[in-house]
Amino acid sequence: MVTQSPTIAVIFTSTRTADHQDEYLATADEMDALAQQQPGYLAIESVRDPETRRGITISYWQDEASATAWKQIAAHRHAQLRGRTDFYQDYTVTVTQVLRSYSFSR
């Protein structure tokens, strides 16, 4: 995953509503593609439990300025509004610095 340190991780945990599934999926795909075009973007990973509708998305950024700039993109701000009004029952955003990262894969 991310091997550059230190980096910024934006951790988004959420519970989806049962409504607007197709719109949500289209918006999520658009935001993933848009994030990848932003200066300082490094990576994103996301998982969701279909039974509980709980999910976590972590985006990785080169520095805090890049993560903050992403939050201010007009299309992203519109998606945030849709999230509060239509897509999410609840969510939490945590911004943290990654000091070290290592992995294993078989």
Banded model confidence at residue 88, pLDDT cuts 50, 70, 90: very high
- pLDDT at residue 53 tops 80: yes
How far apart, in whole angstroms, are the C-alpha atoms of residue 9 and residue 60? 5
User: Are 64 and 7 contacting, i.e. CB atoms less than 8 angstroms apart?
Assistant: no
Taking residues 78-82, what's their average pLDDT? 94
Tokens at residue 46, please? 């996301």
Q: Name the residue among 58, 51, 56, 57 with its Cα closest to residue 18.
A: 51
Average pLDDT over residues 76-89: 94
The amino acid that residue 68 corresponds to is T
Residue type, 100: R
pLDDT above 70 (res 3): no
Beta-bridge partner residues of 41: 61
Residue 48, both tokens: 């969701």
Q: Is 43 in contact with 75 (CB distance < 8 Å)?
A: no
